[in-house]
Amino acid sequence: MRTNGHRHVILIFSPFVIIYSPTHSLRTINYQSFSHHLPLLKWTHTVVESPPRSFMKSCYQVKYFNDFINLTRNNRSFSLTQLDQICWHTTKQFVTFTEDSTSTSFIDSLHVQFKVKCFTSLLPTLNELKVRRPDLYNNHDWTCFNSSHMKHFDGSIRLTRCRAEETADHLWSCPVTVDKIRVIIRNTVLRIHADLRSLDKSKVSNISMDRLMQLECWSLEKSESFNFLDNMRCLIPNFLFKVLIDFGCS
């Protein structure tokens, strides 16, 4: 703690250590000073104008987010963040959203649990279980469970199992189930369009439906840009957010 010529108390905060004097020696805070002189909070020579509590809360949230986004499993989210393609504010609201905010039901809890597992890439897929419990899941032949009927050259129809590794991405892009996923995507866009129509009929038309349908976030093709597999990590793309704002959402 130090006192300037006007007897204002100045606290200098480093990210996680409070330094009370210019010489970095710790001193006891004289709380009586605060009754007459408002403290001035500074962060690396910049005056902090927001309330100290919310400021420190933001600092810790930034630290935890930074730790999280730098995890190896979040490489994809990290690169999308660098491309400014994720709306983190909406993503956070979506992951923690429950139907009834006043109470917690088992169904709500299960929904949030599932979203967090998708978000953190911790769905118990076979690939993940092989890493977690190599003593139990130790057969490299155990791959995706899906199988399809294949017609062979002799006319016989045989059940052929998908030989791809079961990863979180493969769940939504497996060749055996990809047609069903396309139907789900189509129905999702129709549902969004119907909800937009109920909000403001004047802003939706066949053109707006095409505009929604053409967004990259419905694409099942793996690319550098945001695609459907990123949707299934519970990430919300910035461009979808902006389109919804254009249609009158707030």
Nearest distance in Å: CB 121, Zn ion: 18
- Closer residue to Zn ion in complex, CB, 120/177: 177
Give me the half-sphere count of Cα atoms (radius 13 Å) on the Cβ side of residue 176. 16
Please, which of residues 158-177 interact with Zn ion by CB under 5 A? Answer: 162, 164, 174
Nearest distance in Å: CB 163, Zn ion: 8
Tokens 């789900």 belong to 184
- Closer residue to Zn ion in complex, CB, 140/201: 140
Nearest distance in Å: CB 160, Zn ion: 11
C-alpha distances out from residue 133 to 126, 127, 128, 129, Å: 10, 10, 9, 6
Burial annotation 210-246 (CB, 10 A radius, 16+ → b, else e): eebeeebbbbeeeeeebbbbbbbbbbbbbebbebbee
d(CA 202, CA 197): 8
- Binding flag, residue 146, Zn ion (CB under 5 A): yes
DSSP 168-189: HHHHHH-TTTHHHHHHHHHHHH
- Closer residue to Zn ion in complex, CB, 148/205: 148
- Closer residue to Zn ion in complex, CB, 166/230: 166
Nearest distance in Å: CB 109, Zn ion: 30
- Closer residue to Zn ion in complex, CB, 123/212: 123
How many residues sit in the footprint of Zn ion (CB under 5 A)?
A: 5
Nearest distance in Å: CB 240, Zn ion: 27
**Of 60-68, 120-128, 145-153, 189-197: span binding Zn ion (CB under 5 A):** 145-153
C-alpha distances out from residue 178 to 97, 147, 181, 184, 201, Å: 28, 12, 5, 10, 33
Chain contacts with Zn ion (rule: CB under 5 A)? 144, 146, 162, 164, 174
